Structure 1
Amino acid sequence: MKNTLKGALAASCLLMLPVAAKASDYLSIGSCPVPCTAYTWAAGVADVINRNVEGVQATAEETKGYIANIRLMQNGEMEASLATSLSAYEAYTASGNYEGTEPGKIMAWMSIAPVAMHILTVEGSSVNTLEDLKGKRVGMGQPGGTSMLDADLLMERIAGEDYEPFRVRLGDMTDMLSDGNIDAALWNGSFPLPPVIQLAAQRDLKLIPVADDFFEALHADYPPYYRLSIPADTYDGVTEDTRTYGLANGLVISSDVPEEQVYQMTKAVFENLDDLAGMHPAFAAMSAETVLNGFGSPLHPGALRYYREVGIPGIEEFVARTSDD
């Protein structure tokens, strides 16, 4: 693994390393721009690793986001990162957006929080089902973002090219919905989403459910998508659960990281979830029952070893399902 820490951080971290530690013990965790949730998660995980795993110096790295993270890992410039489970699957299999890249390099590590597809509109809109999106003005998310890729997949299946896309960030989409400048908006993110909370305070929000037949066909082609619901009262005025689908928002790690190191880091995170929950509430919901959610690519051997040791539910079924054999 390469030492990718920035100058000042590298100098200060070297002072704290044991004499026997080597440059290969550095672990850079890619996240996103500093204000975002993924940076908070990466910083929390790095802190836990640094306090509990001897000889490893982890750091959260500010990046341009999840797509950039995968590319940096493929180029050997980072050892771990936050990513969606669809990106992890495509990177491992060298398919989809990562066709032509080296397969098998990026492995599943741990799911942190669900990412739910939000199909948003407001009362008075003619959009009441997925099929109603055909021919409409639809917010898709900004270029370079994973949410836009998910939105593209959905709209290709529903409408082909028969819709008008608006490729802007979520805050702009909710403003446009409120003002009537678009008919619907799509965003795959961890709920509750602050801009959607604000929209629900201004207008009567509608969340469009996803039918079983649409999900089953999507899942057949893209195994990392899994069924979930946005709970009632997550947003003001939405008083029933909304059936949708989503991905895992979690950590992936390079196959080059040694097994023992990944084992010790996985153990440290799971034994310190209470501390991590103090940094961000997503960790409070993380458990043995959720850690595999959404992943369709194989686990790093170090993580697999720990999960087997503690008896993660469904671990052997997961291994069989994601095996390269």
Structure 2
Amino acid sequence: MKLTLKSTLFAAAALLAPIAAQADDFFSIGSCPVGCTAYTWSAGIADVINKNIAGVEATAEETKGYVANIKLLQDEEIEASMATTLSSYEAYAATGPYEGGEPGKILSWMAIAPVGMHVIALEGGPVNTLADLKGKRVGMGQPGGVSMLDANVLMEMVAGDDFEAFRVRLGDMVDMLSDGNIDAALWNGSFPLPPVIKLSAQRDVKLIPISDEFYADLSAKYPPYFRLAIPGGTYEDVAADTPTYGLANGLVISADVSEDRVYAMTKAIFESLDDLAGVHPAFGRVTKETVLNGFGAPLHPGALKYYREIGVPGIEEFVARVGEK
């Protein structure tokens, strides 16, 4: 018999049955390696579900990251996961890196915190606008990471294949930029980025702004991206707000989870946001106004029912735009 994540969990529960009563259902939330922010978020949400939903055994599952999470969802190894809103949109539509998967299987649930695209360069260097990236040496992020997928989208639109890509993690990109081995670094992440703070203490850093024209073209092709700005003062050398775009880090969920179960979990999470803010401050910024941020795939019907009930602003416009499952 092939051992999978889910079959392993059920086997472990069976072994423990004489000691503790088994839950009616297991609910696994894919996150990232232990210690990363998404794991902290997932663990906090699992705790809320366990305290408020009878008959459910929720667990935060350590995974290799967001790309792996989508694969686990597609393979029915987990029921929900952390993902960016772009990856959730592509997974729902079975396009991009998820081409060949089953469309409609993975639905939107809840946006938690934004990530912003950083186009990082040095004062006095050759990159002053997005157009300057053409023909340059560009740090893109490591293979398998969602930030690299975002960098691919940006560079495809700006330069086609006329650039030299360096696919390494953010810390290495920052070192390469400092040493003059690349001309710019791209990273879509929650700000401030600690490696960029470190770089700004050593070199004069600048962030390249994203124009309205570029964003209009981008959002027409990739609806999950939304407009935002990296506030001035986030990094020592960047005094003014930098217009850019981003995605939301958020929860996505299998369409196979029942409407009643998702309604109850969504309600429990929303009514526990103050407690969750003690787990991680990002939950303190989750509101009715932010919960749909960046999503381009339909909501799970259970989440949609709750959001309608509490009057999430723009919910009907959202349904009209992305459809209803």
Q: Is 2:287 the counterpart of 1:287? A: yes
Q: How far does residue 237 in structure 1 lie from its aligned partner after superposition?
A: 2.0
Distance 1:273 1:324, change over 3 A: closer
Work out which of the residue numbers 9, 25, 34 in structure 2 matches 1:5: 9
Indicate the larger mover: 195-204 or 248-257.
Answer: 195-204
Question: 1:277, 1:138 → 2: CA distance?
Answer: 37
- Tell me the TM-score normalized by structure 2: 0.94
Give the whole-Å Cα distance in 1 for the aligned partners of 2:175 and 2:10: 38
Alpha-carbon separation, structure 2, partners of 1:181 and 1:9: 52
For the residues of structure 1 that align with 2:37 and 2:158, how far apart are their CA atoms? 31
Check 1:14–1:113 CA distance in 2 against 1; reply closer, same or farther (3 A cut).
Answer: farther
Q: What is the distance in 2 between the residues matched to 1:64 and 1:13?
A: 30
Aligned equivalent of 1:191: 191
SS at match of 1:168: coil
CA distance in 1, matches of 2:14, 2:206: 49
Q: Any conservation in 2 of the 1:151–1:187 contact (CA below 8 Å)?
A: yes
Instruction: Figure out how many residues of one structure are paired with residues of the other and give that number.
Output: 321
Relative distance call for 1:12 and 1:189 in structure 2 (3 A) is farther
CA separation of 1:257 and 1:16: change in aligned 2, threshold 3 A: farther
Paired amino acid for 2:56: V
Per-residue deviation, residues 187-228 of structure 1 (Å, max 9, x unmatched): 011111111121122222101100111111111111111111
Aligned-partner residue type, residue 61 of structure 2 = E
Which residue of structure 1 lines up, in the alignment, with residue 172 of structure 2? 172
Question: For the Cα contact (< 8 Å) 1:88–1:108, is it kept in 2?
Answer: yes
Question: Offset at 1:99?
Answer: 1.4
Query: Mapping of 1:1-325 within 5 angstroms?
Result: 2=6, 5=9, 17=21, 21-22=23-24, 25-323=25-323
| Structure 2 counterpart of 1:102, one-letter code | E
Rounded to whole Å, the distance in 1 between the matches of 2:311 and 2:136 is 48
**Any conservation in 2 of the 1:5–1:59 contact (CA below 8 Å)?**
no
Whole-Å Cα distance in 2 between the matches of residues 3 and 287 of structure 1?
A: 36
Distance 1:113 1:200 in 2: 24
Q: Tell me the alpha carbon deviations over residues 153-177 of structure 1, each in whole angstroms, 9 at most, x when there is no partner.
A: 1111111111111100001111111
Q: Where does structure 1 differ by over 4 angstroms across 4 or more consecutive aligned residues? A: 1-4, 6-18
Q: Which amino acid aligns with 2:94?
A: A
CA contact (8 A) 2:108 2:251 kept: yes
Contact 1:17 / 1:55 at 8 angstroms: preserved in 2?
Answer: no
Q: By how many angstroms is 1:11 displaced?
A: 5.5
- Secondary structure at 2:108 match in 1: strand
Equivalent residues of 1:3, 1:26 under 8 A apart? no
AA aligned opposite 1:317 = E
* Separation of aligned partners in 2, 1:33 and 1:9: 23
Q: CA deviation at 1:5?
A: 2.9
Q: For residues 14 and 209 of structure 1, do their structure 2 counterparts lie closer, same or farther at Cα, with a shift above 3 Å needed?
A: farther
Contact kept, 8 Å, 1:205 with 1:237, in 2: the verdict is yes
Q: What displacement does 1:93 show?
A: 0.9
2: CA distance between counterparts of 1:219 and 1:13? 51
Q: Give 1:26 deviation, angstroms.
A: 0.7
Secondary structure at the counterpart of residue 35 of structure 1? coil
CA gap of 1:268–1:3, structure 2 versus 1, over 3 A, is: farther
Unaligned runs of 5+ in 2: none
Q: TM-score, normalised by structure 1?
A: 0.94
d(CA) in 2 for partners of 1:299, 1:172: 37
Measured at CA, do residues 257 and 4 of structure 1 come closer, stay the same or move farther in structure 2, by a change above 3 Å? farther
- Farther-moved stretch of structure 1 (68-77 vs 120-129): 120-129
Q: Residue 30 of structure 2 contacts residue 82 of structure 2 at CA under 8 Å; is this kept in 1?
A: yes
d(CA) in 2 for partners of 1:306, 1:315: 11
